[in-house]
Chain A
């Protein structure tokens, strides 16, 4: 192999791939071949670098030049100017306050981040075992196997204070200890990669970007608990993650890092991938275990816990992807190093997927205890456009919404829980003032109704009832009793459901009821959606003083409910309007306004309909 002078890292996380990273990669291969540079430049596909909003992104080493929003048309210029002449293409680099950001490490997005689980993600080639080893990979496993016994291995994790990153935050060492103490002929370690929250992509990025790290973490866990067999449970919607983990398993086997007598010790280990069909409930550990066994993915009552009766009735540990990803670094850098980060009860770092109305959507890793304000405004870059921050939804459909008042709350398991949200697996959905919180609650409720497995009645029936009430409220048919009923149902479902899905599903409703009750009241009492989102609770009006009578709105109206003439101007026949907004979009003089509240004509029309129905009855 000839000496290379440039490492070109192309982010091939799913965000960048959908933005066209693979086309860019092909184009680089073509252009480099044309110019005879193939032997001098390494093209490396990496996992997610994090700043998905800038995608597709590239980093060019040795300088670490950071390019964003690259298109295939830019490739020739990058090669000609940067690779040949040494002049970075400033046009494609990030600008911060008029200054060009020269290197990736100077990009503001990365400033407050501390990468532990994501250390290699976006830095190494995830399909190369050698690159993982170059960053210190498999050293933790080698050291643990040769220098520590299983109990000492558990002690390290205990001292580190690591807690489960899947959402619950259960201390990892306790889970391990319980299984380690079991006497059984066989034990299992399972990696939970059934990430299903809307807007979450932490586990996918880790599995895709640094698969060997997860594998090493799994083997450390297996050694500690005495398991010789591991399963990766990954949803089938993550084909690249599945491919990369399978590839990593194969490479580890070939290199002798997996199989019999690993590192010359008596430890044997095998791992395989099982794909999940995409049921949200299979992220619940009992449901996941049943699904692995080939049965219907339903939860079962606990106890017995997986620690005693897990996979095929054997003691089993189920750990989340990110939990496992932290392990190798804890063993290399030490438990004390890890526990020096974070708060009293939540140690280390947490990976978050930032989405919604935020500038830097993407994948971030920050120390526990950072405030929401730092996470959203410093790392996330604040809100898109001139909009105001309104709420943040943490923890997906199981989590809750927090508001402006909570921006200085530290991000740790207890602080979030106390305020009705939760850490969850790390999905962070940021919302601006244009979002209707009742509608948001309805969205998550609909998700949970769909995903409820139907085994226990509180979840199956209760969530459906809650959804129906929310649907009624957003349709303008809410009654004064609805808020109390939502509260009562939500609390009942939380208390009575069998598994975590049902227990946490009312959270979005309960937290929005707690912090945005006025919006619910406006929907019910005033028949108005203050943010002008719910179609039934708003109307469009043509301002005759501004209307020029061009007839464009009338011609574009799909239900022909607009009529008028050049002289009389145009009016909307309100009862027929379907609130599609076409008229507002096409009006050349912006004479059409979106106004909160049901129009008087519609109210009268509805009253008429009800009266007629009563006659028929």
Chain B
């Protein structure tokens, strides 16, 4: 390391690794991990999100979990929360649907309306 620019490069990469602790994120993905969600495969859904986002090197996306959301018949349920936009809730998620949501919604900003079960917070 010889310049401030080198330091900045390291800093940006390291901040990336620490974004869970309050860094800036563009999109927050919240997977409903209540009992019914898990019974319907929420773990697989969560894992697929983590894999897809990691593979695509999407650095401004955060994946987290929440408890029962009350939409048991539509589990697994996932909220996509973007700053300044209404939250989008997808239901009946599967790993394949997750891949599509990542490509269409997270990367290209187009909501996959066929999977949407609710919007707004």
Interface footprint category on B: 20 to 34
Q: Mark B23-55, 1 if CB is under 8 A from A, else 0.
A: 000000001111100100001001100110110
Pairwise interchain contact A130-B50, C-beta atoms closer than 8 A: no
- Identify which of B1, B38, B51 contacts A255 (C-beta below 8 A): B1
The number of chain A residues with a CB under 8 A from chain B is 39
Instruction: From A69-77, A133-141, A160-168, A501-509, give the one contacting chain B.
Output: A133-141
The residues of B that contact A143 with a CB separation of less than 8 Å are 4
**Residue pair B14, A131 in contact (C-beta under 8 Å):** yes
Cβ of A612 within 8 Å of any chain B Cβ, yes or no, is no
B17 contacts partner chain A, Cβ-Cβ < 8 Å: yes
B3 within 8 A of A: yes
* Other-chain residue from A83, A130, A256, A261 in contact with B17 (beta carbon distance below 8 A): A130
Contacts of B53 in A (CB 8 A): 3
User: Are A5 and B4 neighbours in the complex by a CB distance under 8 Å?
Assistant: no
Across the interface, which residues of B come within 8 angstroms of A261, CB to CB?
2
Asked if B15 CB lies within 8 Å of chain A CBs, one says: yes
B-side contacts of A9, CB under 8 Å? 21
Whether B64 pairs with A6 at a CB distance below 8 angstroms is yes
Q: Are A62 and B50 in contact (CB under 8 A)?
A: no
Residue B119 at the A interface, CB < 8 A?
no
Q: How many residue pairs between the two chains, A and B, have CB atoms under 8 Å in the bound complex? A: 100
Kindly supply a per-residue 1/0 record for chain A positions 1-13, scoring 1 wherever the CB is within 8 Å of any chain B CB and 0 otherwise: 1111111010000
B15 with A134: CB separation less than 8 A: yes
Interface string of A41-72 (1 = CB under 8 A from B): 01000000000000000000111100000000
Chain A residue at minimum C-beta to C-beta distance from B37: A85
Counting CB contacts under 8 A, is A86 at the interface? Answer: yes
Query: Is there contact, CB below 8 Å, between B46 and A264?
Result: no
Expressed in whole angstroms, the minimum distance between the Cβ of A146 and any Cβ of chain B is: 7
- Determine which of B2, B17, B33 lies in contact with A84 in the assembled complex, contact meaning CB atoms within 8 Å: B33
* B20, A61: Cβ atoms closer than 8 Å: yes
Q: Which of B10, B18, B54, B66 contacts A86 (CB 8 A)?
A: B66
Q: Which residues of A contact B43 (CB under 8 A)?
A: 84
Assess A84 versus B38: contact at CB under 8 Å? Given A3-B63, A5-B46, A257-B1: yes
A2 and B51 in contact, given A86-B65, A256-B1, A257-B1 (Cβ under 8 angstroms): yes
- Chain B residues whose CB sits within 8 angstroms of the CB of A85 once the complex forms: 33-35, 38, 65, 67
Contacts of B13 in A (CB 8 A): 130
Given A61-B20, A263-B2: A142 and B65 within 8 A (CB)? no
Rounded to whole angstroms, the CA-CA distance of A131 and B19 in the bound complex is 11
Q: Is the CB of A123 within 8 A of B33?
A: no
Q: In the complex, which residues of chain B have a beta carbon less than 8 angstroms from the beta carbon of A255?
A: 1, 10
Residues from chain B with Cβ under 8 Å of A1 in the complex:
54
Query: Are A264 and B10 closer than 8 Å at their CB atoms?
Result: no
Which residue of B20, B22, B54 contacts A42 across the interface (Cβ within 8 Å)? B20
Shortest beta-carbon distance from A460 to chain B in Å: 52
B 69-113 binary contact with A (CB < 8 Å = 1; else 0): 000000000000000000000000000000000000000000000
**Chain A interface residues (CB < 8 Å from chain B):** 1-7, 9, 39-40, 42, 61-64, 83-87, 123-124, 130-131, 133-134, 136-139, 142-143, 146, 255-257, 261, 263-264
- The chain B residues found within 8 Å of chain A, CB to CB, are 1-4, 7, 10-11, 13-15, 17-18, 20-22, 31-35, 38, 43, 46-47, 50-51, 53-54, 62-67
29 sample A-B contacts, Cβ–Cβ < 8 Å, listed by A number: A2-B50, A2-B51, A3-B53, A3-B63, A5-B20, A5-B46, A5-B63, A5-B64, A40-B47, A62-B22, A62-B62, A62-B64, A83-B65, A85-B67, A86-B34, A86-B64, A130-B10, A131-B14, A133-B11, A133-B14, A134-B14, A134-B18, A136-B11, A139-B4, A255-B10, A257-B1, A263-B1, A263-B3, A263-B4
17 additional A-B residue pairs with CB within 8 Å, beyond A5-B20, A85-B65: A4-B20, A42-B20, A62-B20, A62-B21, A64-B22, A86-B65, A87-B34, A87-B67, A131-B17, A133-B7, A134-B15, A142-B4, A256-B2, A257-B1, A261-B2, A263-B1, A264-B2
